[in-house]
Amino acid sequence: MSVQQTGHRVTHVGMSLPDLEARLWSAANALRGPVDPADFKTYVFPMLFWKWISDNWTWEHAQAVDEYGEDLNDEIERDFHRFTVPTQAHWSAVTRIRRACAVRLLSD
């Protein structure tokens, strides 16, 4: 695997599927900690679904903006979404709060 760095972004090029699987498995083990592997799915699957819903909502919102631009209103936008994601419950909003709390705790 080679590594390319452009600006602040590091990109891994040429990672094989087994390498990716091994890295993901290692990351999952580190995150899981003391949780039994059989119980881990009760934590991970809902989070993956929540992330998927949030990402799809964002993508659908971008599609609505592209199609309607400034004429986009709440009624039109509702037709673009399969799920309703309250702003404060979107993945990015919740993870932003978590990061802000972590920074505040570390700075105290």
pLDDT tens digit sequence for 15-37: 788 888 888 888 877 877 777 77
Q: Are 67 and 77 in contact (CB under 8 A)?
A: no
Question: Does residue 16 form part of some domain?
Answer: no
Domain count, the chain: 1
DSSP state at residue 89: G
d(CA 16, CA 92): 29
pLDDT-derived band at 108, boundaries 50, 70, 90: low
d(CA 58, CA 63): 9
d(CA 54, CA 39): 24
Question: Does residue 75 form part of some domain?
Answer: yes
Question: Does residue 77 form part of some domain?
Answer: yes
- Write the CA distances from 88 to 54, 81, 96, 104, integer angstroms: 11, 17, 10, 20
Question: Does residue 5 form part of some domain?
Answer: no
Segments forming the whole domain that contains residue 49: 40-107
Question: Does residue 70 form part of some domain?
Answer: yes
Question: Does residue 87 form part of some domain?
Answer: yes
pLDDT-derived band at 57, boundaries 50, 70, 90: very high
Question: Does residue 52 form part of some domain?
Answer: yes
